[in-house]
Structure 1
Amino acid sequence: MNQFKYNLAGRDLIVKTGRLAQQANGSVLISYGDTTVLITATASKEPREDVDFFPLTVDYEERLYAVGKIPGGFIKREGRPSEKAILSARLIDRPIRPLFPDGFRNDVQIISTVLSVDQDNLPDITAINGTSLALCISDIPFAEPIGAVDVGLVNGEFVINPNCEQREISKLRLVVAGTKDAILMVEAGANEVSENKILEAIMFGHDEIQKIVEFQEKIIGEIGKEKMKFDSPKTNQEIIDAVKEYAEGSLIKAIKNSDKLSREDNIDLVYKNALEHFEDVFPEKNKEVKNILDTLLREQVRKMIIEEGIRPDNRSVKEIRPITCDVGVLPRTHGSGVFTRGQTQVLTVATLGAMGDVQVLDGLGIEEFKRYMHHYNFPPYSVGETRFLRGPGRREIGHGALAERALDPMIPTEEEFPYTIRLVSEVTSSNGSSSMASVCGSTLSLFDAGVPIKAPVAGIAMGLMKEGDKTAILSDIQGMEDFLGDMDFKVAGTEKGITAIQMDIKVDGLPEEILAEALEQARKGRLYILEKMNKVIDQPRPNLSPYAPRIITLKIDPDKIRDVIGPGGKTINKIIAETGVKIDIEDDGRIYIASVDEESAKTAEKLVEELTRDVEVGCTYLGKVMRTTNFGAFVEILPGKEGLVHISKLEKTRVEKVEDVVKVGDEVLVKVTDIDNQGRINLSRKDALKEVDKKA
């Protein structure tokens, strides 16, 4: 067994190899604090036949024993990966994928198994560093090691890998991954942080990454295996020249079309004609011909943009597609908005619920409650395709989380707006930037629903194409530009600053000044989009939808919660049955009463107030006789609160028999004369009658 140690942000990063998973091509047991993750990298011995993509799979396995928990439910074992696990898998996948060699077609599987977790040290960051090492010490071809850190902004200072307490107060959570020389991935959530501060945070994180990579290089030098040999596909120059001569001119004409579907049809026709033409000229070389056509397409699109500054849909590099916004498009929902940008269109619907509708997050972290959530759906018809509907995929979960993160800092607090909020974005048409369109649609639907968000949020997807010293930064990229470009850079935020970023870079050595230029261009684009949105709706509607629940908030003494609930929930269930409301009670005494019918909510509020009112000596109450004895009558003056009217206090004159004056079920006016040290309430009907006489 080999062991290596490195001090990262004041905590030991410990790497052990040769102890576990020895049959994998590469394996690492990596610990950071008390967080421990086993990373395995395995590759098939032979390449997969007839595939034109790299078959990489990244899995992130959460084990509840890592935090000393037993899974719930009947089966008592872990099931499908949680959304958090899927997002962590994507976080690992994105920086490593560009570092595998072109043409490598062997199946590669990365499995990160979380074995132990302490809340100060996040397992996903540890897993990225461990994945890099597992690949680099294996025989799987992989370009170079990468490092990853989490950057926080605490009290105006940057912090590497902030602990649990620091994360609570940080204005920024920025995950940055990269090689020694280049940044490959950025994922961030922020509370209106400026572009300059974000750039500083990225570079601050990269400084630490360089040290992590140096640590990994020492390990690789000691125990790294020789890389497996693979034959990179080579194409005959004669075929390249022939295809280029035949198809290049037609391809250039086909590219220039502002309509996505027409452009795709024209390109497909060029491909079809070329494949048919060369079928007899170069028998059994269809795959090579198609690959050459793909390369030609990429070259021509990039050349047109970088050298001429013209994009396939005839826009300039900074130009944003036409935008339209609509709100209130669905009659019975609580809020709705449609955001359309070019041929990308998203319908976002807002639903308001009671506090009991919050999502409980009970995974590897401390149990949390999520009262704002965003779900993103990308149906096949949005791109004119057909496929089976099998629930949200990893991409949909990732896009939903990005849009959720963009709006999260702007959501009002529970005290300001005691509702659970769910947004659902339905992508009805897509030609790039659909995740950022769902951010814009979220703002529209929240305003339409009357949610008092702190500021409107918009998002824009940026792109970059770089050849030598020439660079083109693109605003509002469409699908083709995303696929053929060197950077996908999504930025969301308000007028004041950034709230979310997701960046993936496919080229090495992107200078800081280009990143700064891209951020500034994104800021201008975001402000332009916000201006367009504000013309349609620039603040929350003054009233909620008539179909949204009305919520009344009460604050009671926590010791009286049991009076509201009653034995076995009898009291609270009775109120719910009588009024049709939904009641949620917090441990600190906050009570939320929700109902679409405002009168029902007020009735329930009155009943709860009566249950929790204190009986006051000297006050008069209209009570109900619950039972009688030979020495007096027991009268309920408030729900669950009874007092005794002694026979001597029943009437202004002498009473021989209690039933001569009152019977069970009678309503009587009584006055509280005393509450003894045991909490027993003494009542007097005689004193209450005297007060009535005085007033008369």
Structure 2
Amino acid sequence: MSQIMETTIAGRTLKVEYGKVGMLSNAAVLVSYGDTVVLINANASDKPREGIDFFPLSIEYEERLYAVGKIPGGFIKREGKPSEKAILHGRAIDRPLRPLFPKGYRNDVQVVCTVVSVEQDNLPEILAVNGASIALCISSIPFTTPVATVSVGLVDGEFIINPTLSQREKSTLNLTVCATKERVMMVEAGGQEIPEDDMYNAIMFGFEECKKIVAFQEEVMAKMGKTKVIPELYKVDEAIEQDVRAFAFDMVKEAMYIMDKDERNAAIDAVKVKINEQFSEKYPDNGSDIADTIYGMQKEIVRNMLLNEHRRPDGRDFNEVRPISCDVALLPRTHGTGLFTRGMTQVMTVATLGALGDVQILDGLGSEEFKRYMHHYNFPSYSVGEVRPLRGPGRREIGHGALAEKALEPLIPNEDEFPYTIRLVSEVLSSNGSTSQASVCGSTLALLDAGVPIKRPAAGIAMGLITSEDLSKEEVITDIQGIEDFFGDMDFKVAGTEVGITAIQFDTKIHGLSNKCIRESLDKARVARLHILGKMNECISEPREELSKYAPKTYTMTIDPDKIRDVIGAGGKVINKIIAETGVKIDIKEDGKIFVMSDDSVCAKRALKIIDDLTREVKAGEIYLGKVTKIANFGAFVEILPGKEGLVHISKLDFARVNKVEDIVSLGDEILVKVTEIDNQGRINLSRKDAIKDSEEKNSEEKASEEKVSEEE
């Protein structure tokens, strides 16, 4: 039997319907918010997956274009692989849920969020996180801590929960807050240089609303929830753990206290060899238990070092940023390059400028149709000294690229200021912590090197956290390196300018962050960001005055919008001919702005002249250089502008009497003509002799003026 429960969030109804669809799923719910509807199905395997050392949670965010009344584009008229936004939304659902499953749970769990109806005022990705939490909570899967999610906007100084489309267009903040009733689990934010105080207050504002949604989810659990299964949790064999720890703990500790990363890794590898030699005969089939014990010792040692000894693995102070170096203009033929190095993390970003027609076309559920600024992030295996096949970008690469893109987007000039499509590609050359934020820094350097007039330079930093088991004690650390990220409790990335924050992404491996931790992380991140910006400014502080000689140049003009059809022509015939003749790229806007892009200024100016001629109005009294297109007994027809012809009567061809038109002009001749009249029917009358007379008079006046100047000198 179908069961329905409702609550009101920001003046709109959030409805959960269970028992109507998906009868064979462990839990299937239809969640709706306004006219946005997401179908959530949650399932888990009966037994743990053998031979793995991780929790196999799979979150799938499925977009259906019928949800917005669209038929997919392209030859194959069905949805294909997930869009970039769908991948990002799937990651955003995964991150707050994963830490709340029991430790050691290794059953396969899959949550499928299918977006089946979208009202643009109500974002389906926000609804999907709430729906996924509800489905898991009412299922028999051992997940018992509800997670709520809201979006927060900032319009005219006021925070707004789940802003509508019109409010989002005005908002200077795009914030997503995920939280349990006790702590914030995850934050994603993009903003137009938001001060730290405002960002913290926005997060707390969203947190309070999340608590109300959690209370509603608890009511849904009480009414609809199934009995939870008792999970089979993986644990290391106690005898093996005791033996390995007794034999190797001191050796592992000695290795972990080595400051140099390469030396530390070599020492740990040597210890592992000794451990395997010692226990290979006693425990021949328990390699995974031994490996887990070694990992547990490393984690315990590093966390104790940080939390109780107040000592970092590389000897830095808790608020100290690693050494930084910056460089630009590395590659001779690219439009702009930036190399940013922080410790052993190094990213090279390359900027490419293209025509406005090079924008990325978006075929998704949102209102956005194209993207003019793009950032892509590559993380090859050599960046961590490993060997593995090179594949296309995975979820991590897409997520890191999107975060860096979000950080710089508010600073990119609009197309009126800078009429180019901009693509940035960040290549991670070496990775030891926070490559996404290094790509923000490298991208800023590349944009400045390319001459892009960004609003201000931006930089990013990642903060870390170490907590005691009961969460009563915590230490926030600045600029985490790989080992601190690996064994730590959070990755709190903050990017922005000297004015404020442009992007945040944080998630945690524990049951959420305290308010104090969030406040401290924001404040310390600002100090670190300003330090990094200072180092970057020493390398390059302003956009280059000129673009690279290899970058295409853009020329603009404006025509009457009613004349656009004359430039395009039937089926694009006219514009395609211009492009073929000149080799330029042409983009035309609805308001009549025309952008012509070319590496060759001569070709660009030629294209501009053709367009100008196509759209110019013929005016009486003006002189034109025209081409004879037809000869008749009574005169010659001359094309003075593309598609615009006039008649030079035989009596207007010359000062003397003309017996035959061919005595003066031939087909194809270019002659000067003056427009003497445009009659009521739009017919154009021309005169060759009046054009000659006016030209001679003009030449005489110019000659007299030159002679006068010469006499005065």
- TM-score of the superposed pair, with normalisation by structure 1: 0.97
User: Which one of the candidate residues 602, 608, 611 is aligned to 1:608?
Assistant: 611
Q: Where does residue 264 of structure 2 map in the other structure?
A: 263
State the distance in 1 between where 2:512 and 2:697 align.
93
Q: Where does residue 670 of structure 1 map in the other structure?
A: 673
Contact 1:101-1:143 at 8 Å conserved across structures: no
SS in 2 for 1:57: strand
* Match runs of 1:293-312 below 5 Å: 293-312=294-313
Q: Where does residue 376 of structure 1 map in the other structure?
A: 377
Provide, for residues 547-585 of structure 1, a one-character-per-residue CA deviation record: whole Å limited to 9, x for no partner. 000000111111112222234433323332332211111
CA RMSD of aligned residues (A): 1.6
* Match runs of 1:273-672 below 5 Å: 273-282=274-283, 284-467=285-468, 468-508=471-511, 510-672=513-675
SS in 1 for 2:609: helix
SS in 2 for 1:308: coil
Contact 2:185-2:512 at 8 Å conserved across structures: no
Q: Where does residue 74 of structure 1 map in the other structure?
A: 75
SS in 2 for 1:398: helix
SS in 1 for 2:253: helix
333-342 vs 599-608, greater mean Cα deviation: 599-608
When residues 5 and 58 of structure 1 are mapped into structure 2, their CA distance, relative to the original with a 3 A threshold, is same
State the distance in 2 between where 1:233 and 1:688 align.
96
Q: Which runs of 5+ in 1 are unaligned?
A: none
Q: CA deviation at 1:23?
A: 0.8
Aligned residues: 696
State the distance in 1 between where 2:680 and 2:46 align.
84
Amino acid at match of 2:4: Q
SS in 1 for 2:23: coil
Provide, for residues 253-283 of structure 1, a one-character-per-residue CA deviation record: whole Å limited to 9, x for no partner. 1112333232222222223322332334455
Provide, for residues 433-472 of structure 1, a one-character-per-residue CA deviation record: whole Å limited to 9, x for no partner. 1000000000111111111111000000100111153321
State the distance in 2 between where 1:383 and 1:286 align.
24
620-629 vs 683-692, greater mean Cα deviation: 683-692
State the distance in 1 between where 2:405 and 2:263 align.
34
When residues 30 and 660 of structure 1 are mapped into structure 2, their CA distance, relative to the original with a 3 A threshold, is same
Q: Where does residue 95 of structure 1 map in the other structure?
A: 96
Q: Which runs of 5+ in 2 are unaligned?
A: 701-713
**Identical columns (%):** 61
Q: CA deviation at 1:237?
A: 4.5
Provide, for residues 467-514 of structure 1, a one-character-per-residue CA deviation record: whole Å limited to 9, x for no partner. 153321111101111121111100000001000000102333633222
Contact 1:463-1:486 at 8 Å conserved across structures: yes
State the distance in 2 between where 1:344 and 1:509 align.
27
508-517 vs 365-374, greater mean Cα deviation: 508-517
SS in 2 for 1:623: strand
Amino acid at match of 1:665: G
State the distance in 1 between where 2:460 and 2:298 align.
29
Contact 2:106-2:234 at 8 Å conserved across structures: no
Amino acid at match of 1:563: D
Provide, for residues 519-566 of structure 1, a one-character-per-residue CA deviation record: whole Å limited to 9, x for no partner. 111100001111111111111111111100000011111111222223
State the distance in 2 between where 1:553 and 1:257 align.
60
Amino acid at match of 1:338: L
Q: Where does residue 194 of structure 2 map in the other structure?
A: 193
Provide, for residues 601-650 of structure 1, a one-character-per-residue CA deviation record: whole Å limited to 9, x for no partner. 22222222222222111111221111112232111112222111223333
Contact 1:146-1:213 at 8 Å conserved across structures: yes
State the distance in 2 between where 1:298 and 1:694 align.
94
Q: CA deviation at 1:59?
A: 0.7
SS in 2 for 1:405: helix
State the distance in 1 between where 2:437 and 2:609 align.
45
State the distance in 2 between where 1:574 and 1:509 align.
61
- TM-score of the superposed pair, with normalisation by structure 2: 0.95
State the distance in 2 between where 1:99 and 1:68 align.
36
Provide, for residues 119-151 of structure 1, a one-character-per-residue CA deviation record: whole Å limited to 9, x for no partner. 111110000000000000000011311100000
SS in 1 for 2:190: strand
502-511 vs 315-324, greater mean Cα deviation: 502-511
Amino acid at match of 1:592: F
Q: Where does residue 84 of structure 1 map in the other structure?
A: 85
Q: CA deviation at 1:247?
A: 1.4
Contact 1:490-1:502 at 8 Å conserved across structures: yes
600-609 vs 429-438, greater mean Cα deviation: 600-609
Amino acid at match of 1:574: K
State the distance in 1 between where 2:4 and 2:649 align.
84
Contact 1:192-1:494 at 8 Å conserved across structures: yes
